[in-house]
Every structure is written in C-alpha cells, then in structure tokens.
Amino acid sequence: MNLMPIIVMGSDHAGFRMKEFLKKNLQEAGYTVEDKGTNNEESVDAGIYAIAVGEEVAADPVHKKGILICGTGIGMSMNANKVNGIRASLAADLFSAKMTRAHNDANVLCMGARVIAEAMAWEITKVWLSTEYLGGKYAKRVEHMMAYEKTRK
C-alpha cells in the first residue's frame, strides 16, 4: 500500500501565489502540507526556502517530497540540488513531470510561476505525485548520481 507523502513546500515572492494555490489543492486532495515559506510577496532570496525544503525532504525521504516555486523554477532547482540527498527537477510539462519521477526518482519538484499557469502547475503536480520510480536500469543511474554527491565536500 502506497501512503501519501507529506508535501514540503516553499517559494520565493514570485512563486507565493502559486504555492498557496497548490497548497490548497493538495490539502483538498488529502495531502499533509508543510509550508516553509515565504508568506507574502515581498522580495526574498529563493535559496533560503529551497534549502529549507531540501533539508526537510532529505531528512525523511521515505515520507516526504518537496515542491518549490519561484519565477522560473530554475533558481529553486539549482539551490535545492545543493542539499545532499536531493534530486530536484524543473518541470513545465506533463511528460517531464512523469519522467523525472519514473527515471530519476526526483524527490523535489520545481516549477516557475512566470512560466506556467496555476492550472498547469496543478496538473504537473498530480502527474509527478502519481508516478512511481521505475528502478531497474534507472537505479544504477540514480545510484551513480548519489555516489558522486557523497564525494563532494
């Protein structure tokens, strides 16, 4: 039986409204959501929230997945991927959302509020959350990625 993961969310000022929209939809769908901020549209550094979400997911990767939103999703993904144990992936379409889970076992989804509409972000989120990691031949690729990370200082 596959239990629903806890969703840890974060955004910068540009992604705040989309984060709130997705948070509401996730809660209505039965997910528990932990919101790491930001809490308004005042300008902030996206990295603060990306790292907070990344650290929370990395501390409990079995039970938690992350969603990060900024203007493009790029800054969030770059920052989150600095956290050991995180495989954050940017998605702006349904195919990418599916493949990032199926092939790369991504544990953090990043999206851009200035790139996609809220309705599309919700569709991407649903696909991402419902796609299982395939393992198999992809497991070696993920293991290679994670092994390299352990060598970094």
Q: What are phi and psi of 38, to 5 degrees?
A: -75, 170
Q: Tens digit of pLDDT for each residue in 124-152?
A: 999 999 999 977 788 788 887 778 778 87
Instruction: Please report, for residues 32, 35, 117, the alpha-carbon distance to residue 102 in angstroms, rounded to integers and kept in the order given.
Output: 23, 26, 24
Q: Assess whether 70 carries a catalytic annotation.
A: yes
Active-site residue among 13, 63, 103, 144? Answer: 103
pTM (two decimals): 0.94
Q: Tens digit of pLDDT for each residue in 79-128?
A: 999 999 999 999 999 999 999 999 999 999 999 999 999 999 999 999 99
